[in-house]
Amino acid sequence: MDIQQRLLVIADIGGYTRFMLASRISLIHAQQAVTSLIEAVLDGAQGLKLAKLEGDAAFFFAPAGSAGELTAQVAEIRRRFLQRRQELVAERMCSCAGCTQLEELTLKFVAHAGEVAVHKVRGLEELSGVDVILVHRLLKNTVPVKEYLLVTEPVRAELPAEHTAGATQVEEEVEGIGATVAYWVETDTLAAVPGPTPPPAAPTKWWRKVVKELGALPYWVGLKKPTLTLD
């Protein structure tokens, strides 16, 4: 085991409501959508290394001192996320709750820098420690908007001044840790929203629907179970 300083970042997808629990098909289609969006998040996370997939969130890390690149990384991840969400909407051919709520899906980010214990399990780096707990618990916060980047003081100190000038300070009471000062900005201020995606041709939409339903078969027959954390 090795003790290191790391930048810790979580990208968390939210927006699905709990009434989908009443419909199995809605939950399956929601899981498929979130899986596709998580893949878009991973594609956009250049410079960040994946620590773990956590249901509808991705937990990343990067070397200490690299937080200066965070806003650009967040902007690219969000661009990929929004682009993929628009594609899913354009391809939609289903009226279940999991499909009709696609536009409601959001993406928030929490970042913290601190000390972590690093140990390897079958070649993969596993991170642990108080700072890992802190960044996860900051997902539950008092930020009044749905899409934002929330950072702690060690990260804020490294960010470009133009991206922190309008940040709002909050003090969060973190369970088991205590009062933690953090700063948030809306992600709209970091990246422009991409233009609308034109719908694909009808044959393409039907083919993608067939592929989607084939992908749902493992859930229908019980080989896989949806792992969404609905909010």
pLDDT at 54 exceeding the cut of 80: yes
Q: What percent of the chain has pLDDT over 90?
A: 56
Dihedral sign computed on CA atoms, order 144, 195, 69, 6: positive
pLDDT of residue 22: 59
- Domains, in order of start, for the chain: 2-220 (3.30.70.1230)
CB of 147 within 8 A of CB of 104? no
Of 191, 190, 2, 184, the residue nearest 111 (C-alpha): 184
CA end-to-end distance (rounded Å), the chain: 36
Distance CA(47)–CA(65), nearest Å, equals 13
| 118-141 per-position pLDDT tens digit | 888 777 778 999 999 999 999 999
pLDDT at 93 exceeding the cut of 90: no
pLDDT at 216 exceeding the cut of 70: no
Give pTM, 2 decimals.
0.86
Please state, rounded to an integer, the average pLDDT across all residues of the chain.
86
- For residue 56, the SS3 value is coil
- For residue 85, the SS3 value is helix
